[in-house]
């Protein structure tokens, strides 16, 4: 059975199913500009785990802009799965993600990303698992901007939180 709805519905279901530990949720319209990464605005109720995950997300986008793969990969588990918005098939592991990366234009002929704005994080912690949902606005210098919605599943390991699954959908152009 698929249930569509808000986290209010999740709280209702958790209560009725006797599931303890209602997840902590962060919603925000905070914009993390990747060319100038910052922490969330004071007063936002983000716990240490949520902060670690959101800062990890911002650091990965910063690494993308800088073309710094180690900066990105430090947060990605070696056995991750990835639905890339430009690929049909699921990528398995960092090796599969590297195959996706290898199919992207390497000669500079692809779109020129000027900036990535990550916004509206909703981070839910479920013990040693977390789900992060957010939007991206990708600003290009040579083509119209695109919007992407992203869902990442994170798992806590002894060395910290790592991304174990990522799913991104490119949204239709407005206009």
Q: In angstroms, rounded to a whole number, what is the distance separating the alpha carbons of residues 118 and 129?
A: 21
Instruction: Considering only CA atoms, give the Rg of the chain.
Output: 17
Q: What per-residue confidence (pLDDT) applies to 110?
A: 77
CA–CA dist 132, 126 (Å, integer): 11
**CB distance 130 to 53 below 8 Å:** yes
What was the pLDDT predicted at 111? 79
pLDDT at 137: 94
pLDDT at 44: 66
Q: For the whole model, what pTM was predicted?
A: 0.73
- The 10 Å Cβ neighbour count of residue 121 is 24
In this prediction, residue 28 carries a pLDDT of 41
Give the domains, in start order, of the chain with CATH numbers: 7-170 (3.10.450.50)
| Contact assessment for residue 10 and residue 23, using Cβ atoms and an 8 Å cutoff | yes
Q: Which residues of the chain have pLDDT under 50?
A: 1-40
Residue 98 confidence (pLDDT):
94
Question: Residue 43 carries which DSSP code?
Answer: T
What's the pLDDT score for residue 22? 38
Q: What value, to the nearest 5°, has the Cα angle with vertex 168 and ends 11 and 22?
A: 15
């Amino acid at each position: 059975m698929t249930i569509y709805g808000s986290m209010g519905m999740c709280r209702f279901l958790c209560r009725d199913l006797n599931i303890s530990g209602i997840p902590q949720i962060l919603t925000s319209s905070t914009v993390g500009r990747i060319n100038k990464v910052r922490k969330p605005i004071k007063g936002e109720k983000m716990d240490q785990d949520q902060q670690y995950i959101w800062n990890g997300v911002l650091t990965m986008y910063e690494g993308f802009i800088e073309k710094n793969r180690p900066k990105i990969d430090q947060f990605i588990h070696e056995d991750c799965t990835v639905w890339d918005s430009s690929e049909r098939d699921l990528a398995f592991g960092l090796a599969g993600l590297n195959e996706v990366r290898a199919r992207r234009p390497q000669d500079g002929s692809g779109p020129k990303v000027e900036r990535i704005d990550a916004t509206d994080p909703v981070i839910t912690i479920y013990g040693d698992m977390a789900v992060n949902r957010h939007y991206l606005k990708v600003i290009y210098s040579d083509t119209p901007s695109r919007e992407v919605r992203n869902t990442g599943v994170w798992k806590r390991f002894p060395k910290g939180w790592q991304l174990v699954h990522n799913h991104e959908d490119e949204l239709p152009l407005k206009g």
